[in-house]
Amino acid sequence: MSGVDAAAKAAVPSLQGHKPLDVQGLLSSDRPLVEIYDLAVVDLDGVVYVGPDAVPGAAEAVARATGAGLRMCYLTNNASRTPDTVADHLRRLGVPASVDDVLTSAQVGAALLAERLPSGSRVLVVGGEGLERALTSAGLVPVTSVDDGPVAVAQGFHPDLTWRRIAEGTRAVRSGLLWLATNLDLTVPTPYGAAPGNGSLVGLISTATGRQPDLVAGKPSAEPFLDAVRRHHAAAPLAVGDRLDTDLQGGRAAGMPGLAVLSGVSGASDLIAALPDRRPTYLSADLSGLLDSHPEVRVGPGDPVQATCRTSHVAVDGGVLSVLAPGDNPVDLLRAACGAAWAWADAHPAPDGRPAAALQTQEVLAACRRFETAGAWAR
């Protein structure tokens, strides 16, 4: 049994036991990932689309992956839209999707509250339709005022959230009600760059009340990934996303291997400096990585640390990451850089006991930028 096959099969007991994945480096595979995993738990913003537009090539990659038998669960921290609205958006972009393929942080949050509250309980909503519909489907009653007698507060992102609604949420939280946040992402991607996300809005209420949310539903919690596995009865799931601090960290917490794509938030410098609980097990430019085999990253012993991936060769010496041979592919170069940087960081822990990232990576980033296909991720 190859190492990648073992990792896929090992995900099953890990998920059942809620044990985080302990693989620290990048895995290799002689076969495409669609032949190894039976469910891809895929983030949306920055992976399938950015704002209203599809990531180039995403629809084609998903169609080919599903045609090869890989099931998709689209897991999003964005609580503003309903699953049917998300599915409609995906289909308009040419991505095959049904309502049952979509799982939002609003749905996960509503389920968490329904486990804790009697059916018919009133919940003050600091959010929009996506959260209101999820609460209703879970047997709870969304309200907009403390005067309506809520027993809990649910807060989720919505682009038209008003100051008055945030103020009413502050009033409810200050009174001591159970407070759930669908997620704590500080930013959301837009075609014009990062904008304030639900975590920033949660921070407003937290600052005004001196409290933190009692429950957080979305990524990087393991719960939404475990929910996706239960819904689809998966045996070998794979987390797929662009953000290390939500998609990859959450998948790893749930025991899943993870594919990081370079079409969204996290770039080359983020990957090179990734701490162990955020590291992916595979790396690709975009969703086409589901259809590809993945080359081995060879990390040599000793100090300086050297790593190769096909024709790319790098070294870390004294915290400086250098390119010995850039090779023929920017993603291979980045794979090699991650292998060397992670090995060096793990061998040189910081005073607080956490691994230290390789300190200087400019040469690798400059080499990535020289490739025509590198794009904005080479930062």
pLDDT at residue number 376: 66
Q: How far is CA 122 from the centre of its chain?
A: 31
Tokens describing residue 228? 């996706």
DSSP alpha helix (H) spans, the chain: 3-17, 58-67, 83-92, 105-116, 129-137, 163-174, 198-209, 223-232, 249-253, 268-272, 330-347, 362-370
Tokens describing residue 259? 């594919």
Angle (deg, nearest 10), helices 198-209 and 163-174? 50
Looking at residue 151, its amino acid is V
pLDDT at residue number 363: 80
pLDDT at residue number 8: 42
Residues 6+ positions from 162 with CB-CB distance below 8 Å: none
Q: Are 295 and 333 in contact (CB under 8 A)?
A: no
**Assigned CATH for 106-216:** 3.40.50.1000
**Given this chain, do its domains 3-77+220-291 and 106-216 carry the same CATH topology?**
yes
| Catalytic residue list contains 286 | no
By three-state DSSP, how is residue 302 classified?
Answer: coil
Spot the catalytic one: 30, 45, 53, 292: 45
Low-confidence ranges of the chain (pLDDT < 70): 1-18, 353-359, 370-378
**Assigned CATH for 3-77+220-291:** 3.40.50.1000
List the Cα angle 156/231/77 in 5-degree steps.
Answer: 20
Q: Are 198 and 156 in contact (CB under 8 A)?
A: yes
- Cβ-in-10-Å burial (0-12, 13-18, 19+) of 214 comes to middle
pLDDT at residue number 9: 42
pLDDT at residue number 7: 47
The domain segmentation of the chain, as residue ranges, is: 3-77+220-291, 106-216, 297-377
Spot the catalytic one: 43, 185, 242, 247: 43
Tokens describing residue 295? 């080359």
Strands 258-261 and 237-241: parallel
pLDDT at residue number 170: 98
pLDDT at residue number 361: 79
Q: What is the C-alpha separation between 363 and 49, in angstroms, rounded?
A: 30
pLDDT in tens, 197-233: 999 999 999 999 999 999 999 999 999 999 999 999 9
pLDDT at residue number 373: 52
Q: What is the C-alpha separation between 361 and 94, in angstroms, rounded?
A: 38
| Catalytic residue list contains 43 | yes
Strands 122-126 and 102-104: unpaired
pLDDT at residue number 371: 61
Place of tokens 């998300």: 86
